Amino acid sequence: MTSISTAESSEKATAQGAIAQARVLGGSIGLSICTVIFNIHVNRYLEGHLTEPQLESLHRSPLSGLQLPIDQRDLVKTVYAGAYAEEIKIMACVCSAMVVATFFTLERHPAPLTRIRSRSEGGRFSKRGNDSETEMISMGSARQTA
């Protein structure tokens, strides 16, 4: 994947879209991992203490544990806290691996920022970097020629 600042001007929109999609994908994967960890933890520690309909209700809505009797509610709180702690540990390990992986994406000889700036200032971009103003000017000239 490319950095938006180093992308060619014609590819900036594509690069920005790819980065946005990667963020959404990462969030979806993280949420999926946490859901699986939560469900495994709840099944492991509450299976003998709650009935099957109560467990199904907890899987559909974790807040349904508030409707349980007080002794079961305390147990559910403890299990939820343990599940959360487990999620944090696993996500910290995943994030650590991601940080290590980013070191492999560093460029040994990156382009100087002055060259990148001069490339983006020329062509269709305005000197102030306001792309929307340039687009509006282009739209006006397109209407006049039509």
All structural domains of the chain with their residue ranges: 11-108
Query: Residue 79 and residue 41: Cα distance in Å, rounded?
Result: 7
d(CA 101, CA 127): 36
Closest to 55 measured CA to CA, from 88, 81, 79 = 79
Q: Which two tokens stand for residue 95?
A: 């994030």
Asked if residue 113 has pLDDT above 90, the reply is: no
pLDDT digits (tens, 9 = 90+) for 71-97: 999 999 999 999 999 999 999 999 999
Reading phi first (left if > 0) and then psi (alpha if -120 to 50, else beta), residue 50 is in beta
Percent of the chain with pLDDT over 70: 73
Element (H, E) at 56: helix 52-60
Euclidean distance between CA atoms 85 and 96, whole angstroms: 17
DSSP-derived 3-state class of residue 61: coil
If you ran DSSP here, which 8-state letter would residue 114 be given? Answer: H
Check residue 84 and give its pLDDT: 95
Given CA atoms 32, 38, 43, 44 in this order, what sign does their dihedral have?
A: positive
